[in-house]
Every structure is written in structure tokens, then in C-alpha cells.
Amino acid sequence: MEDIYIKLREKLDGLSFGYPKTENGEELEILKWFFDPEDAELFIEMEDRFQTPAEVASQTGRDPVLVANRLEVMAQKGLVFRRKDDDETQYRILPMVHGIYEANDKRINLDPAFGRKFAKYFGKYMMKAWNSTDTPLFRTIPIDNELVSGSEVLPYDDAAAIIKSKKKIALTDCACRGLMESIGKRTCNHPIETCLMFDEVADYYVKNGNARYVSTEETLGFLKRNEEAGLVINVANSVNPEVMCSCCSCCCGVNVAVKYFEGPSRTYQSNYKCQKDEDLCIGCGACVERCAFGANKMIDEKQVFKKERCYGCGLCVTTCPAGARSLARKPEGELYAPPNSLYSAYNGMKRYRRENPSS
């Protein structure tokens, strides 16, 4: 029985930025909470692409009806992704993050003992791996395209334009803040219901009972509220982002990993940097409270800006009373063009780790 979970760990470790092995096997205990042996076996046998039940049945030598039923059950459990394509249902295996964990957040939060176990593993092992490839999982974008001086926000970095381009939008809880709340370690009072899913991802979350559809107007209002609350806008790393999160600096894995852990992907986390006009700065410290990445600090009663810690979210710009802050787009040679889809980003992470096994 243990062998099936070892194989499952190896399968998951080959997806996106991985699922690291531990010294005491605690990652296997986590897998047993998510997967029963039958689910694990089918997950291991599936390819890392969208497949119909008939394709999976043919590939694995299983009964097509049983495979279709099992895949739908696994989709409802948040173990595989489900989408409709030309009236045909397709399924795809999910990485642990962004994937299985987020699709199971409500169930995890009902089991604080498991939540503590998962949070410990995530913080000690997975978060270190977050930036270990040259492809970011998420990208930080400015809340407002008017914040960038001298040039326009790139189309794939324009939060409002992204939202307006979507046919379907669903609102769901922040998995990170929900987890911290359930295990008694949440230190902020930011809203829980802040994460946005778009189009086929929205359908998946709503059908599984984990989200609700919202209008474009509502969504733009939520985005403004989140900015006022000091939350950083992070999007899935793709040209047309499938996910948009509003992240805090204390609970959310995206910001914490960028803040504390080195790695190649940190370079491509954002296409923007903050600029500070020293002559206009009055040293009030408003930017210190707003900065999620530790770029602004008060040292010896003086406000100090560390450019290398800035990820271009623009939160300090919107609340600077002296107008001393602005965002600037990075030089052309430093700009990062995201992959076509989040799945392309996953493949980029896999490629890098395969070519750099020590990372």
C-alpha cells in the first residue's frame, strides 16, 4: 500500500515546481488524506495533458464507464481538473500547488489537525521550491494602469483589462488565509473571499461548490476594495490569466515565498519597479505599512527604500501623501513575457527542473 503513495509522490514531484520528499515521510501521510488508493493509481497512470475518459481508458486498459465515473469523482474531490471542450468532458491531473491544495481548501479548513500538518510541510518544503525554477507560478501586477509613469501597462499586466476580457468570473476564498484562520495562526484581518477564477476554471470551482459567479462590475469593486486593504494583486503566469489573487504578506504563499526565498523565478515576478523622488519624500512611513515585500523600512527614524526588494505592485504609490512614489516599467531587455497558459507555465517549470536537477 505504501508503494502506491511513493509512486504518487514521484508523479507529483514531476509536476510544476514539485512535491518534495521529506526525511520522515510526512508528505506520504498528506497524500493519504487527499487520495484513496484507487484515485492514486489512476492519477499515476494518467498523462500530464487534457484527456477524455475514453483516452484514459484506452491508455490504461480500464473499462471506459468505470474510468469516466472515477474521473468525475476525482474532479469533485479536487484531484483532477475538469473542463468542457466542444461538448466533450476532459480531465487533467493537477499539481499540488496551484491545484489540489486550492481545490480542497474548504475541506482542509474543516480538519485543523490536517491543516497544521499541511501548513508545516508547505512552509518547510514546498515554499522553498516555489522560486526554484526560471518560470514564476504567479506574477505581481499593478492594481491600476495609471500608476505607471512614462509608459503603458503591458496588456497582460492590466488587472482591469484582464477582468473585462473574461466571459465568466467566480469569487472564492483565499486558500492561504483560510488555512491560517483554521489553524489559529492568522494575524491579519483582511477579507477571506478575495480570489478570482476565470472562464473554465470558474466553471470548475463553481460546479464543485467552492465558488460563486460574480459580475464584471462586482469584480472591479472587489479589486478596488482589496487594493484599499493593502492586498497585492497576483495573477497566474499566463497571457490570459486563469486566476487572480489578492494576497497579504503574512498568510499568502506567493508573497511569503518571494519575500523570504531566493530562486531564479524571482527575477520575473514583475515587470515593474517603484521609483522614489527623494526630494518629495517627507519620511512619513506610509509606504512602510503598505509594502508587502519589505522594500520600505524605517531605519533610525528615516524611511529607506530597498529597490531590490520591490515587486512593482504599486501599493505604496496609491497612498503616498507627498506624491513621491511612482511605478516604472522595466527596460525592454528585462521584461518578462508570460507563457500562453498556466499549463504552459507548469511545463516550463518541469523543463527547468529536468535540466537543472540540483535546483
Asked whether residue 90 is domain-assigned, the answer is yes
Give the mean pLDDT per block of 10 residues along the chain (359 residues): 91 95 95 97 97 96 96 98 91 97 95 96 91 93 72 81 96 95 93 95 96 97 90 95 94 89 90 90 88 86 84 88 90 93 95 86
3-state secondary structure of 359: coil
Q: Does the residue 335 lie in any domain?
A: no
- Residue carrying C-alpha cell 519589505: 294
The verdict on residue 175 lying in a domain is: yes
Same domain as 303, residue 262: no
**Are both 173 and 263 inside the same structural domain?**
yes
Structural domain span for residue 119: 2-128
Both 279 and 260 in one domain: the answer is no
- Mark whether 47 and 107 lie in a shared domain: yes
| Contact yes or no for 126/97 (Cβ under 8 A) | yes
> Is residue 341 in a domain?
no
Contact 80, 39 (CB under 8 A): no
Partners of 308 in the β-ladder: none
Q: Is residue 348 part of a domain?
A: no
User: Is-above-0.85 flag for pTM?
Assistant: yes
Please count the other Cβ atoms lying within 10 Å of the Cβ belonging to residue 326. Answer: 17
Neighbours of 328 (CB within 10 A): 15
pLDDT at site 234: 95
pLDDT in the model for residue 149: 65
Domain count, the chain: 3
- Nearest to 338, CA basis, from 181, 105, 157: 157
Q: CA angle, 263 as apex, 261 and 268 as ends, to 5°?
A: 110
- Round to whole Å and give the CA distance between 267 and 336: 9
| CATH at 308 | 3.30.70.20
- Examine the domain organization and report whether 159 and 217 are in the same domain: yes
